[in-house]
Amino acid sequence: MSQEQSAAPLVVVTFAKCIVAMNSHTGQRVWEHQTGFKSHYQFMRVDQGRVFVVAKGKLLCLSYLTGTLLWSAEPPLGVGSEPNLLIYAGCVMVADVGEVACFAMQDGSLLWQVKALVTQPARLSESG
């Protein structure tokens, strides 16, 4: 593999039970991580050399370059089926049906949790 190909950005894709990273220039598989997720709905963000993936009941943090599991957490959220996540100010925020939990980006420790009074699926966004 040439130096240009090995330095190519990765394309990271989530599937039902695994996450796959491919070389963006060649399509060659660079790494694969088996998640064990039972849900087909997953939400992913890539930030600061890490891949964050959330599915019902599980939050994973993987190395962008190697796919190595850096930490995992079990968000103390309700029974919703479409969790969402936002990376902001060194935090990983996970939201689902009326609840939001905030984890430290570095180690996955729970920083805070808020239960809202709504029963609709939550969507997170960053304000300027």
pLDDT in tens, 48-75: 999 999 887 789 999 999 999 999 998 8
Rounded to whole angstroms, the Cα distance separating 65 from 68 reads 8
Alpha helices in the chain (DSSP H): 3-6
Q: What is the DSSP letter of 10?
A: E
- Of 49, 85, 42, which Cα lies nearest the Cα of 70? 49
Please, are residues 102 and 113 in contact by the beta-carbon 8 Å criterion?
yes
CATH class, domain 3-115, is mainly beta
Average pLDDT, the chain: 83
Rounded to whole angstroms, the Cα distance separating 94 from 84 reads 6
Q: SS3 for 117?
A: coil
pLDDT above 90 (res 102)? yes
